[in-house]
Amino acid sequence: MSTQVQSAVLQVLEDRHSVKQYQAGHKMPQADLEQLLTSTSQAPSSWNLQHWKLVVIDDQAQKEKLLPIAYGQKQIAESSVVIAVLGDLEANKNAELVFGPAVEAGHMPKEVKDSLVAQIENVYQYPQVARDEAIRNASLAAMQLMIAAKAMGYDTCPMGGYDAAKFVEAFNVPARYLPVMLITVGLAATPARAAGRLSLDQITVSNTF
């Protein structure tokens, strides 16, 4: 990685802050939205099962429907798009979609694929494992989305303050998917304020407690 690229990436990470006031009425170009979603889809995941489903809410009427579910937080209505990040409780069903093409292309022996599928099916017998993996991996995608958005000139705000049960009902979410968070995306109306951060010695432990 060149020094220039490294500096740009680190600057994006430093500049990303949550924004709650957006330029209302701004519509994100379709090409930007597709780039944002494509970059999000490249997030890492356990077994590469890609344990996420993204509900893209850019229709104003749908954002208004979401507004009371998110307790009236105005960034829902004012942002360009709200992306609901859902975790896949049945991501094991993606195994064939993920590994099948790799076997067909000669990148993975069928025996390796069969071993991986057996391993996955074994752990997915346990609902808590499925839930943990859904939340963990969908959260990786959520963070990637916010970093990509900032690199593209947009701002974001991750939101856990909403009624997940009402969201499921209002947006017809299948039982397979677990709401993890909402992320508003748009152009900031006012610059974000950097929040304080704990020092490294407060958040790290060297080798062992």
Say what the pLDDT of residue 148 is.
Answer: 97
pLDDT at 1: 67
- Write out pLDDT tens, residues 86-99: 999 999 999 999 99
List the CATH code of the domain at 17-88+130-203.
3.40.109.10
- pLDDT for 7: 86
pLDDT per position as a tens digit, 114-157: 999 999 999 999 999 999 999 999 999 999 999 999 999 999 99
* Cβ–Cβ under 8 Å, residues 75 and 185: no
Which residue bears the tokens 């599928």? Answer: 117
Mean pLDDT calculated for residue range 85-112: 96
Q: Count of H helices and E strands in the chain? A: 9, 4
CB 81 within 8 A of CB 186: yes
The string over 100-113, giving b where at least 16 C-beta atoms fall within 10 Å of a residue's C-beta and e elsewhere, is eeebeeeebeeeeb
Q: Would you state the pLDDT for residue 4?
A: 84
